[in-house]
Amino acid sequence: MTQAAPAAATREAYPYALIELVEQGVDVVAIDADLSVSTMGYQFGERYPDRWYTVGVAEQNMVGIAAGLAACGKTAFIASFAVFLPGRCYDQLRTSVAQPRGGLNVKCVASHGGITVGEDGMSAQAIEDLALATSLIPFDVVVPADFEAAKQAIVAVGKTTRPAYVRTGRPKVPGIYGSDYRFELGRATKLRDGSDVTLIACGVLVGIALEAANLLANEGVSARVLDMATIKPIDREAVLAAARETGAIVTAEEHQTTGGLGTAVARVLAETVPVPMAFVGVDRYGTSGKWDELLTYFDLTPARVAAAAREAISRKR
């Protein structure tokens, strides 16, 4: 793997991905709801003003407009904060996007996901969005770990005709992938091999899982690390291989432990190869603070992931 890119926010990938799609011949239209400076959608609008619309503080209307454009043959992208998309728009996503024709070609790119929105505080910290998005039957759901992964993930969902939800983040996070990385929808990326336990993470927790694997290695514990960027459809083969080959699994996500990555992994294991599991996530509402301080406040840390791994390993037969 080539050297990782410098630190960048995953939300910054959005306009680059849209421009790439247009240049590849995809008939993209993009809609924002008064937050384009934060979602970065305005940069696409500057490049392609005839393909970009802003509707003001009207997220539900944005979904309806996108559904209409998709029904007319467009690949419609909509962007807002994750607390609003899907939080405020769930009914419209369900009835106007998910249900018609088995799912319309609308792509949701929701920035400021999780608790790392930082100073915006509790009301702006979306820790339910993945549960809502995965409950929409035809939706693909993706949580990329860095800028390169986010750009490729948005391009990938833009080339399908299914509805999709891609969560991006506010803070600049260290790059994990280099230019040789290739995102594939529905496939995990093995970042580190191991034989004692598997750490399965998404988003900002991928880097934290890698740090946890280093801590465990210092104790003689061999930890596999999987970046499960696609939560739905989940990479069942990677989960099953991890269960059979390492015998214990920890999931780590910037989301509550119900309805997100941990739930998806647990379902696969319950149906096939049950092994000891531990879950790292956010199961309480938050507070305001700097994003990296909030990771510590919520104990989304390498030490906690490593402790969860030890606990799961202790239950192996």
99 CB-near residues (< 8 Å, 6+ apart): none
Q: Distance between alpha carbon 303 and the CA centroid of its chain, in Å? A: 22
Q: Which residue among 23, 59, 254, 311 is the active-site one? A: 59
Check if 12 is active-site.
Answer: no
CA distance linking residue 251 with residue 229, whole number of Å: 12
End-to-end C-alpha distance for the chain, whole angstroms = 36
CA distance linking residue 31 with residue 37, whole number of Å: 13
Rg (CA), the chain: 19
Q: Distance between alpha carbon 204 and the CA centroid of its chain, in Å? A: 9
Longest CA–CA span in the chain (Å) reads: 61
CA distance linking residue 283 with residue 294, whole number of Å: 14
Residues forming beta bridges with residue 165, ordered by sequence position: 108, 141
CA distance linking residue 138 with residue 299, whole number of Å: 33
Phi, psi of 216 (to 5 degrees): -65, -40
Tokens of 265: 């992994």
- The catalytic site residues sit at 59
